[in-house]
Chains A and B, each alone.
Chain A
Amino acid sequence: MVVTRALLMKIYTLVIFLFVSVCYVDQSHASQTFVVLDDKGKRLSNIIVEINASMSIEDKPARKSPTLPNEIKSPIKMKQEGQQFTPHILLVSTGQEVVFPNDDNVFHHVYSFSPAKTFEVTLEQNVTSEPIVFEQAGIVELGCNVHDWMLGYIYVSDAEISGQSALNGEVSFDLPPGEYSVSVWHPRISKEDIQTHHKVVIDDIAEGVSKLHKIELKLPLYPSLTGYDSVEATDAY
């Protein structure tokens, strides 16, 4: 697990590095950094951040953020590794295909009764499933019928811009000035906080200057599930 996690972190670092590099390459839009803080002001990682331009703003971004995963048309992997889903939370855009590779040497039976996507797929050892398309936006909670402890989420986002906070709790978007509605999601974030839309205004004056937008939660996080401290912990980063 440790090795896996270290590897994961390296990958994340690489991705962010690339992402940051791209931001600097494209100077047409200013890079806007968001940080999600809990009720005590602590930075939270792995938080889904969705950004939609407010209806009142005329100057809508011309296109979706080039960094969004749904730009990548190839299927995204939700692996079964060490009898657990990896990643714990997978952010996808609507219409995205996801494959479920079984890297374990045990049988898995992945399913979800979530309204966003009800499906089931049985996976023999070291077999990758056929791609499954997630068309409906929403949270698809994944379980394994033979391993009760396995839990994973696929967040199907239909937001204009979405991302996941990095280990340092930040997520950056290249946004033109305007007024945006920002919402966050994580299984530990309270219902109220999830339903809250944070209004963020990006000025022209601030263009070229990387600005940190704080998204502050009002309520404390739900406790992490037993055995999920490592994957659901937000303060370990």
Chain B
Amino acid sequence: MPTSRYISLSCLPIKIKLLASFFLITITLLTATAYSVSSAAKKHSMNLLIENMKISKSVISDHINDTIYVIDKAANNLTSDFTVKSLILNVKNDETSLKVALNNFANRFETSEFALTDGAGKIQVASENFTLNAIDDIDIYAREKAVWLAMNDAYYLNVIVPVKNTPLSRNAMAYLIFTKELNEVFDAHLSSLSNYEVNAITQFDGALDGLSASGRDKDTVIKIFESQTPFTGETPSAINYSSINEEVFYSKTQSLDSINQQVWLMLIAPEDVAFLSYQSLFKQLSILLLLSMVAVSAFALFIANRISTPILQLSKLTANIGQGNDNLEIPQGGAVEVNKLAYAMGEMNIQLNRRNNKIHKLAFEDELTKLPNKNALIRHLTDCFRQPDFSKVTLILVDIAKFTDINEAVGYQAADGLLQLIAARLAADFSDSSFVARVSGNQFAITYHCEHSDYKQSVSDFIAEIDECIHQPFIVSNMYIGVTAKIGYASSDRQINDSRRLTQSAEIALKFAKQSFNASVEYDASLYLFDARKLQLMSEISDITVNGQLSLHYQPQLNLRTNRVESVECLARWLHPEEGFVSPDLFIGLAEQTGNIKKLTRWVICEALKQHNEWKKRGFSLQMSANISAIDLTDESFVSFVSQSLERYNVSASDLMLEVTESTAMEEPEVAITALKNLSNIGVKLSIDDFGTGYSSMAQLKKMPVKELKIDKAFVLELSKNADDQSMVKTFISLAQNMNLKTVAEGVEDQESLNLLSKFGCTYGQGFFISRPIDKNGIIKWFNQTHYPVGASKTENSQI
């Protein structure tokens, strides 16, 4: 799997995904909420600020106006007083009295300075610090009740009241002035009336001066006043905005001096004060957001757990199913879908188990006999070898002999029935202590676990038991069927220490058992060696026809009537440079298995014909017999090869006798008959070899264009001593005679046998008694030395 540097979201656990989704949604919603709330709150806060500023402004203005009003009222009362009025209007006569009186009143009104002007504003009497000489337009100021005037580098609030002749007089005869300095007006009390900073701005000849009732430094106040610009987005006049050294101030300015426009009231709200309510709201909102975040996270986690826990359980369950565990916990309590899935997985597991069992059965049980099969056997053996207290095991392979014949004889159904019965019997007799299995068509395996001290004997006894068990006839479809078994067995030892070697060894033993006459063969290391050698030979066999290792030996056949050696059988001999003499039975079989038999047969025929020609030149006219294989019979070009070879070596077809074994001829009689007829047609003689060992159908035999029967040496070797063999041979010979066939008896070992054969009417005798097979040089010598006349007499030859 290629490693990716990017973590795909789809690869993340559902919990994290869900959590992330919830977070995303919540954050989006909350952000939107926070944004809208905060913007609304900010707007509201701004409106609040504007409103509060307005109110504050009104309060401050009103307070200043109140101050003016109080002084004005008091002063008006004063000027209405006849005595005071008298004093005032009599100023020219008594200035001192008036000054003292006014000083008294000024203190009473909490004003610092006072003055008296005439009707035109010219100062008549004034306190010490009242430095103006005249006030122009005093009538206008008087109408406004107060005016801010600059004196001694400071601004003063001058409350001006007219002094009239009568209260209803249209014109003032004089004006009385009480003044309060700016800093007396903008005092701490004024500042305390507002949440915002209260400041006064004044202008002297174009230069600004500032005074803060709330303690802010004068320069900042002036800067704010100078830099204030209408706050954008709001009503321009509602509020101003200034930024001093990155500090933001909101302010509102109002002129306190409608006539001269020299004095202003300015309220300042630093940003944090301005949006105090907004900030506290924002803080609350933040806490709320945080809380809802936590709540949502918890909820998401809860949901995610609700979903992922059953899924994780399901995945665990799946893993368990995968491992084939039976003890399954089906998770429950999840969502309906999850439960359904869990249930389905449980069902699936049940079905899987069923199928597994079925597969197991198919894999490890033989369907026909219900016995364990070869796989089961191997598994059992493997388990045995694995057991810590394993000591020794013997594997016994039981092969039901000639089962193919039985099959043909009784039909496959009955044969199957037979197998079932055999299986049942073996199982009944041995499965208590042994493992019984059917390993192939007609092969059974039985294990023997031995704890006996005399191992060899106990195994032999056990095999005898098996043999006995098999030998009892079986009743299949009301037929009694007796079977024999070939048994090969092997026991575990130092070399054979696993199931593979044990089965292999037992198989080798069985093979040898099948090839031998013995009912049972125990595996021996030599068997294995033989087997290994066979493989070696198999690889070399294709070359023997060219590398000179193959040669022909010749065994004379004696005509028992003429007592002449009239024919010779050529026998292939393989002299291996290392192995030495290789048995023909072995290498012919190997050649057949490896597909080299055709080449081998042709080589033999060529060699034999060449030799025949040579002998003829030397004056020995003999019939040459050569063995051919069943495979040659299926070779369509074989006949033409034979005829070409005869021509090539200038040999008469009648001098060539080709031998096929009885079993070969009878295996596929139709094919054999056709092939043999073709050979016969070109004049070649044919012989049935090893007669008596197979099952010949007389009907088929009759159809075959054979001239000769060769009686198997099994009947001849002990002919002189064995009456049974004598009667058999006698029967064979009379059978041949009846069919107008010549007979050859192989394996003649003594004179008595020869005599008997002669007596029975056998045509030819062949065997060690006459001569063993001799190589091509030796046979010439033998021809010259033997007491038998060599070569067919013409008369004899023409007979029969």
Task: Please encode chain A, from 177 to 193, with 1 for each CB lying within 8 Å of some chain B CB and 0 for all others.
Answer: 00000000001000000
Chain B neighbourhood of A174, CB < 8 A: none
Q: Which residue of A lies closest to B166 (CB)?
A: A143
Residue A24 interfacial (CB < 8 Å): no
Q: Could you tell me the distance between the alpha carbons of A172 and B168 in the complex, rounded to whole angstroms?
A: 32
Residue A12 interfacial (CB < 8 Å): no
Residue A105 interfacial (CB < 8 Å): no
Q: Which residue of A lies closest to B85 (CB)?
A: A113
Residue A149 interfacial (CB < 8 Å): yes
Q: Does the CB pair A142–B168 fall under 8 Å?
A: no
Chain A neighbourhood of B85, CB < 8 A: 113
Contact of A113 among B165, B167, B168, B170 (CB under 8 A): B165
Q: Which residue of A lies closest to B169 (CB)?
A: A141
Q: Could you tell me the distance between the alpha carbons of A141 and B119 in the complex, rounded to whole angstroms?
A: 15
Size class of B's contact patch?
10 to 19
Contact of A141 among B80, B82, B166 (CB under 8 A): B166
Q: Does the CB pair A114–B165 fall under 8 Å?
A: yes
Q: Which of A109, A113, A225 is most buried by chain B, counting CB atoms within 10 A of its CB?
A: A113
Chain A neighbourhood of B168, CB < 8 A: 143, 148-149, 151, 225, 228
Residue A111 interfacial (CB < 8 Å): yes
Residue B792 interfacial (CB < 8 Å): no
Q: Could you tell me the distance between the alpha carbons of A150 and B80 in the complex, rounded to whole angstroms?
A: 13
Q: Does the CB pair B82–A145 fall under 8 Å?
A: yes
Q: Does the CB pair B80–A143 fall under 8 Å?
A: no
Q: Does the CB pair A143–B165 fall under 8 Å?
A: yes
Q: Which of B86, B89, B170 is most buried by chain A, counting CB atoms within 10 A of its CB?
A: B170
Chain B neighbourhood of A111, CB < 8 A: 82
Q: Which residue of B lies closest to A111 (CB)?
A: B82
Q: Could you tell me the distance between the alpha carbons of A151 and B165 in the complex, rounded to whole angstroms?
A: 10
Chain A neighbourhood of B80, CB < 8 A: 148
Residue A17 interfacial (CB < 8 Å): no
Q: Which residue of B lies closest to A145 (CB)?
A: B82
Chain B neighbourhood of A112, CB < 8 A: 165-166
Residue A222 interfacial (CB < 8 Å): yes
Q: Could you tell me the distance between the alpha carbons of A112 and B164 in the complex, rounded to whole angstroms?
A: 10
Per the 8 Å Cβ criterion, residues 161-195 of B in contact with A are 165-170, 173
Q: Could you tell me the distance between the alpha carbons of A118 and B82 in the complex, rounded to whole angstroms?
A: 13
Per the 8 Å Cβ criterion, residues 178-236 of A in contact with B are 187, 222, 225, 228
Q: Which residue of B lies closest to A188 (CB)?
A: B170
Chain A neighbourhood of B166, CB < 8 A: 112, 141-144, 148, 150-151
Chain A neighbourhood of B170, CB < 8 A: 187, 222, 225
Q: Could you tell me the distance between the alpha carbons of A32 and B461 in the complex, rounded to whole angstroms?
A: 189
Chain A neighbourhood of B173, CB < 8 A: 113
Q: Which residue of A lies closest to B163 (CB)?
A: A113
Q: Which residue of B lies closest to A143 (CB)?
A: B166
Per the 8 Å Cβ criterion, residues 128-145 of A in contact with B are 141-145
Q: Does the CB pair A151–B169 fall under 8 Å?
A: yes
Q: Could you tell me the distance between the alpha carbons of A113 and B88 in the complex, rounded to whole angstroms?
A: 10
Q: Does the CB pair A141–B165 fall under 8 Å?
A: yes
Q: Could you tell me the distance between the alpha carbons of A165 and B191 in the complex, rounded to whole angstroms?
A: 60
Chain B neighbourhood of A149, CB < 8 A: 167-168
Chain B neighbourhood of A228, CB < 8 A: 168
Q: Which residue of B lies closest to A191 (CB)?
A: B171
Q: Could you tell me the distance between the alpha carbons of A37 and B158 in the complex, rounded to whole angstroms?
A: 41
Report B466 CB to chain A, min CB distance, Å. 153
Q: Which residue of A lies closest to B167 (CB)?
A: A148
Q: Could you tell me the distance between the alpha carbons of A112 and B170 in the complex, rounded to whole angstroms?
A: 14
Chain B neighbourhood of A144, CB < 8 A: 166
Q: Which residue of B lies closest to A222 (CB)?
A: B170
Report A136 CB to chain B, min CB distance, Å. 15
Q: Could you tell me the distance between the alpha carbons of A142 and B165 in the complex, rounded to whole angstroms?
A: 8
Task: Please encode chain B, from 82 to 95, with 1 for each CB lying within 8 Å of some chain A CB and 0 for all others.
Answer: 10011001000000
Q: Could you tell me the distance between the alpha carbons of A112 and B169 in the complex, rounded to whole angstroms?
A: 11
Task: Please encode chain B, from 721 to 737, with 1 for each CB lying within 8 Å of some chain A CB and 0 for all others.
Answer: 00000000000000000
Chain B neighbourhood of A114, CB < 8 A: 165
Q: Which residue of B lies closest to A152 (CB)?
A: B166
Report B368 CB to chain A, min CB distance, Å. 141
Per the 8 Å Cβ criterion, residues 94-112 of A in contact with B are 109, 111-112
Q: Could you tell me the distance between the alpha carbons of A228 and B168 in the complex, rounded to whole angstroms?
A: 10
Task: Please encode chain B, from 55 to 93, with 1 for each CB lying within 8 Å of some chain A CB and 0 for all others.
Answer: 000000000000000000000000010100110010000
Report B90 CB to chain A, min CB distance, Å. 9
Q: Which residue of A lies closest to B173 (CB)?
A: A113
Q: Could you tell me the distance between the alpha carbons of A149 and B167 in the complex, rounded to whole angstroms?
A: 7
Report A78 CB to chain B, min CB distance, Å. 14
Q: Does the CB pair A143–B86 fall under 8 Å?
A: no
Q: Could you tell me the distance between the alpha carbons of A109 and B169 in the complex, rounded to whole angstroms?
A: 17
Q: Which residue of A lies closest to B88 (CB)?
A: A113
Q: Could you tell me the distance between the alpha carbons of A143 and B170 in the complex, rounded to whole angstroms?
A: 12
Q: Could you tell me the distance between the alpha carbons of A185 and B80 in the complex, rounded to whole angstroms?
A: 27
Q: Which residue of B lies closest to A118 (CB)?
A: B89
Q: Could you tell me the distance between the alpha carbons of A187 and B173 in the complex, rounded to whole angstroms?
A: 15
Contact of B167 among A118, A142, A143, A187 (CB under 8 A): A143
Chain A neighbourhood of B165, CB < 8 A: 112-114, 141, 143
Q: Could you tell me the distance between the alpha carbons of A145 and B83 in the complex, rounded to whole angstroms?
A: 10
Q: Which of A143, A148, A187 is most buried by chain B, counting CB atoms within 10 A of its CB?
A: A143
Report B677 CB to chain A, min CB distance, Å. 167
Chain A neighbourhood of B86, CB < 8 A: 113
Report A118 CB to chain B, min CB distance, Å. 8
Task: Please encode chain A, from 47 to 78, with 1 for each CB lying within 8 Å of some chain B CB and 0 for all others.
Answer: 00000000000000000000000000000000
Chain B neighbourhood of A187, CB < 8 A: 170
Q: Could you tell me the distance between the alpha carbons of A111 and B173 in the complex, rounded to whole angstroms?
A: 15
Chain B neighbourhood of A142, CB < 8 A: 166
Report B76 CB to chain A, min CB distance, Å. 11
Chain A neighbourhood of B89, CB < 8 A: 113, 118
Q: Which residue of B lies closest to A112 (CB)?
A: B165
Q: Which residue of A lies closest to B83 (CB)?
A: A145
Report B200 CB to chain A, min CB distance, Å. 37
Chain A neighbourhood of B82, CB < 8 A: 109, 111, 145
Chain B neighbourhood of A145, CB < 8 A: 82
Q: Could you tell me the distance between the alpha carbons of A113 and B166 in the complex, rounded to whole angstroms?
A: 8
Chain B neighbourhood of A109, CB < 8 A: 82
Report B554 CB to chain A, min CB distance, Å. 177
Report A192 CB to chain B, min CB distance, Å. 14
Q: Could you tell me the distance between the alpha carbons of A150 and B167 in the complex, rounded to whole angstroms?
A: 9
Task: Please encode chain A, from 74 to 85, with 1 for each CB lying within 8 Å of some chain B CB and 0 for all others.
Answer: 000000000000
Q: Could you tell me the distance between the alpha carbons of A118 and B168 in the complex, rounded to whole angstroms?
A: 17
Q: Could you tell me the distance between the alpha carbons of A228 and B82 in the complex, rounded to whole angstroms?
A: 23
Q: Could you tell me the distance between the alpha carbons of A141 and B168 in the complex, rounded to whole angstroms?
A: 10
Q: Could you tell me the distance between the alpha carbons of A222 and B89 in the complex, rounded to whole angstroms?
A: 26
Q: Could you tell me the distance between the alpha carbons of A143 and B168 in the complex, rounded to whole angstroms?
A: 8
Q: Could you tell me the distance between the alpha carbons of A44 and B101 in the complex, rounded to whole angstroms?
A: 45
Q: Could you tell me the distance between the alpha carbons of A149 and B166 in the complex, rounded to whole angstroms?
A: 9
Q: Could you tell me the distance between the alpha carbons of A13 and B170 in the complex, rounded to whole angstroms?
A: 30
Chain B neighbourhood of A151, CB < 8 A: 166, 168-169
Q: Which residue of B lies closest to A227 (CB)?
A: B168
Chain A neighbourhood of B167, CB < 8 A: 143, 148-149
Per the 8 Å Cβ criterion, residues 130-188 of B in contact with A are 165-170, 173
Q: Could you tell me the distance between the alpha carbons of A113 and B92 in the complex, rounded to whole angstroms?
A: 13
Report A100 CB to chain B, min CB distance, Å. 15
Chain B neighbourhood of A141, CB < 8 A: 165-166, 169
Report A161 CB to chain B, min CB distance, Å. 27
Closest 3 CB pairs of A and B: A143-B166, A148-B167, A151-B168
Binding site for A on B (CB under 8 A): 80, 82, 85-86, 89, 165-170, 173
The contact sample of 14 A-B pairs, CB cut-off 8 A, is A112-B165, A113-B173, A141-B166, A143-B167, A143-B169, A144-B166, A145-B82, A148-B168, A149-B167, A149-B168, A150-B166, A151-B169, A225-B170, A228-B168
Binding site for B on A (CB under 8 A): 109, 111-114, 118, 141-145, 148-151, 187, 222, 225, 228
With A113-B89, A141-B169, A151-B169 given, name 15 new contacts (CB 8 A).
A111-B82, A112-B165, A113-B173, A142-B166, A143-B166, A143-B169, A145-B82, A148-B166, A148-B168, A149-B167, A150-B166, A151-B166, A222-B170, A225-B168, A228-B168
